[in-house]
Amino acid sequence: MEEAIIALSKDDKIIAELANKEMHSHASFIQVAIANLLAEQQMAISELDAIAVTLGPGSYTGLRVGLATAKGIAYALEKPLIGLSTLSALANAAIQLAPKTMASPFKIFAMIDARRMEVFGAVYDSSCKTILQEQAMVLDQAKWNSLIHQPTLCIGNGLAKTKDFTAPHLVIYLEGHYTSQVLLDMALTKLNDAQFEDLAYVGPNYLKEVYILPSK
Q: What is the dihedral sign for C-alpha 56, 62, 65, 69?
A: negative
Residues in CB range of 89: below 8 A, 6 or more apart: 54, 178, 182, 183, 186
DSSP 82: E
- What b/e readout covers 51-80, taking b as 16+ CB neighbours within 10 angstroms? bbbbbbbbbeebbbbbbebbbebbeeeebb
**d(Cα 133, Cα 193) in Å, to the nearest integer?**
22
Q: Taking the complete model, does pTM exceed 0.85, yes or no?
A: yes
Start-end of CATH 3.30.420.40 domains in the chain: 4-85+178-192, 87-174
Q: Tens of pLDDT along the chain (216 residues)?
A: 578 999 999 999 999 999 998 877 888 899 999 999 999 999 999 999 999 999 999 988 889 999 999 999 999 999 999 999 999 999 999 999 999 988 889 999 999 999 888 999 999 999 999 999 999 999 999 999 999 989 999 999 999 899 899 988 999 999 999 999 999 999 999 999 999 999 999 999 998 765 444 555
The CATH class of the 4-85+178-192 domain is alpha beta
The CATH class of the 87-174 domain is alpha beta
36, 94, 127, 155, 200 from 98: Cα distances, Å = 35, 6, 12, 10, 38
